[in-house]
Amino acid sequence: MVKDDFSVLASDIPWESENVWSTMIFYMFNLHIPLGYGGLSIVAYTLHQPVLDLQTQALSLLLFQVLELSAALFLLSRTIKPEYDLVNFFKTIKSPAERNWLLASALGFAVLTSLVFLASLVADRLFGAKAANNPLVREILLSSDISATAIVLVNCIIAPLLEEAVYRGFLLTSLASTMSWRNAVVISSAIFSVAHFSIDNFLQLFIIGCVLGSSYCWSGNLISSIAIHSLYNASILMIIFLS
């Protein structure tokens, strides 16, 4: 594979390349969909409540996100090659000193917010303006301090850690070892977007994935993409709260 000067991701990865897609399929159908999208139904069935109150919804989301994060990291640790350590691998990849994660995070966040804003303007012009806020999330944020804290933890800490570990740390890294970093970013971003099961937000999520992936490729440090992801989600929650 031909390398260029942008990406510092190594061609030698901690996972067997032939097992990448089977691992992703296992994660999607055995962890992500049941826990990420079936969690609230499980709680409602267990409590015999057809409609959960807002605080129960928020705490349930937090619980199942933590479970999904823990299970995903366990899966990656069990499939990693014996000579590698998952924690040390996710810390950083050797890269030039000037490519520090703080710079990558600042640049990435600025680029991301600009691109999403422009994409929103284009979408509004082509398809008509739509509400920017999520009424349910706003209701949860305003319902109680416990609910608000749970939603902030889910969106600004747990989700960024989970999604960056899986879609950038594992999938993007694995793909970049067998193809150009650009193709790896595009493919991993498309899968990241599809995994959210949102047709309306597909383009926005794809853009987010491309920026996060590019930041990770350039810095070699997953902290950069986690920081951008967290800051972006925090800004969205702030917009929803203030709207």
* pLDDT in the model for residue 138: 92
Query: Taking the model in full, what pTM does it have?
Result: 0.93
Listed by start position, the domains of the chain span 17-242
Residues present in the chain in total = 243
User: Would you call 229 exposed, middle or buried from its count of C-beta atoms within 10 A (0-12, 13-18, 19+)?
Assistant: buried
Handedness of CA 95, 97, 99, 104 (dihedral sign): positive
**pLDDT tens sequence across 115-140:** 988 988 877 776 665 555 678 899 99
Report DSSP state, residue 19: G
CA separation for the pair 133, 135 (Å, rounded): 6
* pLDDT in the model for residue 135: 83
User: Do 39 and 57 contact (CB within 8 A), yes or no?
Assistant: no
**pLDDT tens sequence across 186-216:** 999 999 999 999 998 899 999 999 999 999 9
